């Protein structure tokens, strides 16, 4: 529910307000798991792949308006969730990234701010990779 349906339910509530204002930006949070799948996390990976497909479809539906719909697909980001993992598991995540480091919350926030800006007016339905080069499609 949270990892897929919440995006649809929130958009159903806010997009009419954006239409009335003739402007809006939707930034969905996907995941590297939705792009490449994660072992033993099939439900999560499937839900995040659904977020990516929803972003593509909804971006096309609203392309003729001034409402843009995009997504961010983070890889390993230095958040509280990582503190639940063992140091070896965190090292494995870092090693999967060609940049050999964790991303930061500030880096994700900067991308989200750009996606909401007028500088990003010709982009909709896209999913932006934030994995340090792990997934490049």
What is the Cα gyration radius of the chain? 16
* Residue of 38, 22, 20 whose CA lies nearest to 30: 38
Question: Angle, nearest 10°, between helix axes 5-21 and 42-61?
Answer: 20
- 44 a catalytic residue: yes
What is the separation, in whole angstroms, between the first and last Cα of the chain? 26
CA 111, 122, 15, 44 dihedral sign is: negative
Q: ∠ at Cα 36 (35, 40), nearest 5°?
A: 120
Which entry of 36, 44, 53, 94 is annotated as an active-site residue?
A: 44
CA 10, 59, 79, 118 dihedral sign is: negative
Q: Which residues are catalytic?
A: 44
């Amino acid at each position: 529910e949270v990892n897929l349906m919440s995006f649809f339910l929130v958009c159903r509530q806010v997009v009419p307000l954006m239409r009335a204002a003739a402007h809006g930006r939707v930034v969905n949070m996907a995941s590297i798991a939705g792009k490449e799948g994660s072992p033993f996390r099939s439900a999560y990976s499937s839900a995040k792949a659904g977020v990516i497909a929803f972003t593509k479809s909804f971006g096309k539906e609203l392309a003729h308006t001034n409402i843009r719909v995009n997504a961010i697909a983070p890889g390993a980001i230095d958040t509280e969730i990582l503190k639940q993992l063992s140091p070896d598991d965190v090292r494995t995540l870092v090693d999967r990234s060609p940049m050999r480091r964790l991303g930061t919350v500030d880096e994700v926030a900067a991308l989200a701010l750009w996606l909401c800006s007028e500088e990003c007016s010709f982009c909709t339905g896209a999913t932006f990779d934030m994995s340090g080069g792990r997934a490049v499609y």
